[in-house]
Amino acid sequence: MSSPTSPCEEVIKNLSLEAIQLCDRDGNKSQDSGIAEMEELPVPHNIKISNITCDSFKISWEMDSKSKDRITHYFIDLNKKENKNSNKFKHKDVPTKLVAKAVPLPMTVRGHWFLSPRTEYTVAVQTASKQVDGDYVVSEWSEIIEFCTADYSKVHLTQLLEKAEVIAGRMLKLSVFYRNQHKEYFDYIREHHGNAMQPSVKDNSGSHGSPISGKLEGIFFSCNTEFNTGKPPQDSPYGRYRFEIAAEKLFNPNTNLYFGDFYCMYTAYHYVILVIAPVGSPGDEFCKQRLPQLNIKDNKFLTCDEEDGVMVYHHAQDVILEVIYTDPVDLSLGTVAEITGHQLMSLSTANAKKDPSCKTCNISVGR
């Protein structure tokens, strides 16, 4: 919420869902709407959307000066793009418009309860004049503008990072990273990619606002170990063949480590996505602009440090780590073998949707 001394930022104070029923974009209204017949109030035009974040935006428009001094409120019709033709009124006492006092423009619209990250919206605006009897005189609706909200910023991801740190648990030793796939995948890599696994675009699993989903290119690895053996589990959701590579070949002082996401899939256990990027690589530059960077020697999830001249690695016990490596990896750097356990498809996180109701892994912005 903005300071009362900055009227253009007064959103939560001035922007509210008032208990009135507004007319729709076509000017239709019910008989008991409480809105008077239209008079000559200026119609907003040349609407501009700016300063878009994952749960806010600024809006401004132009108006004719005629009757401008009579304007007391703005009515803002905000809808997800896919729902723009749906019924605006589920019940006549449930308004769907945002009502804002007529503050100087541009005006900030902010609210995680009606704005989600990376989502397309439509917006239209009316000017209104509140009468002494409580009725409103309104203008015609403006043109409809479309825009898309942004991804989580580093600030939002840092909030997720701090929540993940709370449940990460103690650190266990690891020695390898591993990647499970079907036999046909590894055959294809050998035949068509010269033995080198290639980065691919990350799917849409995890937080809806994650800036890496659908954008960052990398190769998915796991690193969690079994508590009793200190080795990777023999079961996997992703295929019966496993590529294992010594940890130091992917994660070392010549790489940077980034926090990417924290989520669950309506389950008790949680996932943390980390990104390992060789210093100065395209993946490193991508992450440096968008993700919180972690100290490789001192963090709650995955560490790399030297002890007696030997690199030692640890991972968090109480979260499942999904590690994305941003460069190609040659199969000759490790080994491929069939696992002895089961392929547990139900544990796959491919395009998995985050539980928006989980208090452990959600923050107070759009999910």
Mean pLDDT across the chain:
84
Give the domains, in start order, of the chain with CATH numbers. 45-149 (2.60.40.10), 154-338 (no CATH)
pLDDT of 37 reads 47
* Greater model confidence, 306 or 366: 306
Contact 337, 181 (CB under 8 A): no
Instruction: Report in angstroms the alpha-carbon separations of 236 from 179, 181, 297, 342, 350.
Output: 9, 9, 28, 6, 13
DSSP category for residue 367? -
pLDDT of 366 reads 52
Give the residue carrying structure tokens 């068509």.
192
Kindly report, residue by residue over 310-367, the tens digit of the pLDDT: 999 999 999 999 999 999 999 999 999 998 866 655 555 666 778 888 999 998 875 4
Contact 296, 257 (CB under 8 A): yes
The full length of the chain comes to 367
pLDDT of 289 reads 96
Task: Give the burial class of 85: count Cβ atoms within 10 A of its Cβ; 0-12 exposed, 13-18 middle, 19 or more buried.
Answer: exposed
pLDDT of 23 reads 45
pTM, two decimal places: 0.81
